[in-house]
A and B are shown apart, each in its own frame.
Chain A
Amino acid sequence: MNERPMMLSSVNRQGLTPRRVQQLGYGLLRLISLVTVLPIFLVVVYIVVRGAPSIDWEFLTAMPREGMRAGGILPAIIGTVYLTLGTAVFAVPLGVAAGVYIAEYAADNAWTRLIRIAIINLAGIPSVVYGLFGFGLFVIFLGFGTSILAASLTLTIMTLPVIISTTEEALRSVPQSFRVVSISLGATRWQTIWRVVLPQALPGILTGVILGLERAAGETAPILFTGAAFFLPRLPQSPLDATMALPYHIFVISTQVPGMPVQIQFGTVLVLLVFVLGMNLVATLIRSRARARREW
């Protein structure tokens, strides 16, 4: 910072007063933010406007017909629900427990630093690499085949970092005095965590869980070779069946099927968007309600 000349001396250089420079600078920042935000807004509006006319009862509840060029997308919707629930079954207990360990038990030592580095790395691994790993471990090595089980486990690993980090953050925001009081009344450490700390941190944890699952619901690359099917004539019957899924279905109908009616494409995209942004909205509501109610 010291080597930087203080800009106070630049008054009147090129006729620009600091005040004028500030106006220009702020204007530029506003413009940049607008350029960032406007496409997001337009994307959502565009999908809603183009997709809404395709949505009717048949589209949501019927099987695809005529090589997926007509009928509904029920198996893709059901598949995405199964995959999201399957991911939740594994990722929530493991992720929350890991968050509890880091926030409540772990000492500040080299192992804990290593755990943190591992979490950061897990979060950064490209999603298609998770797919490779899931294929190698769950599909081939453990023999689950391309199945809902293998895909859910693959998505679980991808979701864990989000759940662990938000759980840790939620637990750390619970005041220390809550723990001190509970322990002083004779509760054990686990009783304190289970009865006092976790309930207080619940909204924060729930928010993280939903955001993590939202990501899992929208992902395609990790399920490409672990559980996603191009087309299935019936709904999956067991966790060991492959399944159709909304994100993969969008990929298929926008690149792999010639002559695909554009209404079906936009309708499918809108359904996924509602699914994912609906989860986002629920997470936001939980967070803001918890903030408003918090008594500490």
Chain B
Amino acid sequence: MTRQTKQTAPQQDRLVTLLIRLSGYSSILLVTLIFIFLMKEGLPALADVGIGELFTDRWYPIEGYFGILPLISGSLIVTLGAMLVSVPLGVGTAIYLSEVAPSSTREVVKPLVEVLAGLPSVVLGFLGIIAAAPLLRRLLDLPTGLTAFAGALLLGLIAIPTIVSIAEDALNTVPAAYRQAALAVGATPWQTIWGVTLPAARSGVLTAVMLGMGRALGETMAVMMVTGNAPTLPHGLDALFMPVRTMTATIASEMGEVATGSAHYQVLFLIGIVLFLFSLVVNVLASSVSFRQRKRAERLLS
């Protein structure tokens, strides 16, 4: 048996290597394919509907109004609201886990954060409808609890695991020598965290926040279920307590009903392009920030 393996080894090796190489390149192929397909289906909307028409404030596809501004602003309001919740909680928890918590506490907190990462968004959406929205309606005395605010709270929760895990990684990669030096010159552990460790990890923490934002912006089900699905352009700050409709929710709720190739179909793909480009920008920026950080750390340590 050994001899047989030996004889065929080179050919087998070549074939396997080829397959593995192809698999390795598959992710480039897939990203390209996704982009091409979105463009192919969505770009005709620019001609058929017209750019001027797309950037208006009326989304009412049945009557042929395809203004996507209310959807973009809906996504932005909900995402920014989510960041107000998830950045302090996520970064604070990451600092606590990395710098303060005893390992026994860490072993309780970390799995719970992982549980949150694993909770399907439709489950959180369901709880939003059944528990959070009625509660918010009573507490804030609103006509409906299904508002941008409810969506922001849920999305904040959803973005937390991303922020915690990446920010904690960033804090953990700060060389121990930094902390030791600060402590040696008489800084308290708190001053060390605030004045040395956190600034040294700031690019990683920024990456964490950006990826959390990408996560919130792309979230679909939870936000569709609790934001009340009203595609109107918000005016003023009280928009947070009104129903809105995000880009993702629009695609999810309308794609099933459109005729393939119709103007409405094309516009939904165009919204998909907007979402794709946004996540592209967020992820490329985030990864370039973290690459730079690693290089700086190497330089400092050499």
Given the contacts A125-B218, A188-B10, A221-B248, A284 and B97 also touching, CB distance less than 8 Å: no
B237 within 8 A of A: no
Residue of B nearest to A280 (CB): B118
What are 8 of the A-B contact pairs (CB < 8 Å)?
A25-B194, A114-B28, A115-B27, A121-B283, A129-B251, A220-B121, A254-B130, A273-B123
- Chain A's interface: helix, strand, loop or mixed, by majority? helix
Given the contacts A129-B38, A190-B12, A37 and B113 also touching, CB distance less than 8 Å: yes
Range of interface residues on chain B?
35 or more
Across the interface, A188 reaches (CB within 8 A) one of B9, B25, B112, B251, namely B9
- Are B279's CB and A125's CB within 8 A? yes
B80 within 8 A of A: no
**CA of A189 to CA of B256 in the docked complex: distance in angstroms?**
49
Given the contacts A7-B191, A33-B93, A100 and B284 also touching, CB distance less than 8 Å: no
- Are B111's CB and A247's CB within 8 A? no
Q: Which residues of A contact B17 (CB under 8 A)?
A: 105, 189-190
- Are B190's CB and A25's CB within 8 A? yes
Residue of B nearest to A187 (CB): B9
Interface of chain A residues 126 through 155 with chain B (CB within 8 A):
126-133, 135-137, 140-141
- A-binding segment of B56-64, B136-144, B268-276: B268-276
Interface of chain A residues 252 through 275 with chain B (CB within 8 A):
254-255, 262, 265, 269, 272-273
B287 within 8 A of A: yes
- Are B118's CB and A47's CB within 8 A? no
A18 within 8 A of B: yes
Q: How far is the CB of B164 from chain A (nearest CB, A)?
A: 8
Given the contacts A277-B118, A280-B115, A118 and B31 also touching, CB distance less than 8 Å: yes
B231 within 8 A of A: no
- Are A36's CB and B89's CB within 8 A? yes
- Chain B's interface: helix, strand, loop or mixed, by majority? helix
**CA of A261 to CA of B218 in the docked complex: distance in angstroms?**
31
Write the A191-207 contact mask toward B (1 if CB under 8 angstroms, else 0).
10000000000000000
Q: Which residues of B contact A100 (CB under 8 A)?
A: 20, 23-24
B122 within 8 A of A: yes
Q: How far is the CB of B271 from chain A (nearest CB, A)?
A: 9
A19 within 8 A of B: yes
- Are B255's CB and A276's CB within 8 A? no
Q: How far is the CB of A170 from chain B (nearest CB, A)?
A: 16
Identify the B interface with A (CB < 8 A): 5, 9-10, 12-13, 16-17, 19-21, 23-28, 30-31, 33-34, 37-38, 40-41, 88-90, 92-93, 95-97, 100-101, 108-109, 111-116, 118-127, 129-131, 157, 160, 164, 185-191, 193-196, 199-200, 211, 214-215, 217-221, 225, 248, 251-252, 255-256, 260, 268-269, 272, 275-276, 279-280, 282-284, 286-287
**CA of A107 to CA of B201 in the docked complex: distance in angstroms?**
29
Residue of B nearest to A215 (CB): B118
Q: Which residues of B contact A126 (CB under 8 A)?
A: 217-220, 248, 275-276, 279
Identify the A interface with B (CB < 8 A): 1, 4, 6-8, 18-19, 21-22, 25-26, 28-30, 32-33, 35-37, 39-41, 43-44, 46-47, 93-94, 97-98, 100-102, 105-106, 111, 114-133, 135-137, 140-141, 157, 160-161, 164, 188-191, 211, 214-215, 217-221, 224-225, 247-248, 250-251, 254-255, 262, 265, 269, 272-273, 276-277, 279-280, 284
Instruction: List 8 tightest A-B contacts by C-beta distance, closest first.
Output: A126-B218, A101-B24, A218-B120, A32-B92, A97-B23, A22-B190, A221-B220, A124-B283
**CA of A191 to CA of B11 in the docked complex: distance in angstroms?**
12
- Are A121's CB and B284's CB within 8 A? yes
Q: Which residues of B contact A121 (CB under 8 A)?
A: 31, 279-280, 283-284
Residue of A nearest to B178 (CB): A1
- Are B122's CB and A250's CB within 8 A? yes
- Are B122's CB and A247's CB within 8 A? yes
- Are B92's CB and A269's CB within 8 A? no
Q: How far is the CB of B205 from chain A (nearest CB, A)?
A: 14
Given the contacts A100-B20, A129-B38, A221-B220, A276 and B276 also touching, CB distance less than 8 Å: no
**CA of A39 to CA of B125 in the docked complex: distance in angstroms?**
14
Across the interface, A7 reaches (CB within 8 A) one of B28, B100, B115, B187, namely B187
Residue of A nearest to B127 (CB): A43
- Are B123's CB and A8's CB within 8 A? no
- Are A189's CB and B116's CB within 8 A? no
Q: How far is the CB of A138 from chain B (nearest CB, A)?
A: 10
- Are B217's CB and A43's CB within 8 A? no
Q: A36-B93, A101-B20, A126-B248 given. 13 additional CB < 8 A pairs?
A: A1-B196, A7-B195, A8-B191, A25-B194, A32-B96, A36-B90, A39-B157, A117-B287, A126-B218, A129-B251, A161-B27, A188-B10, A279-B118
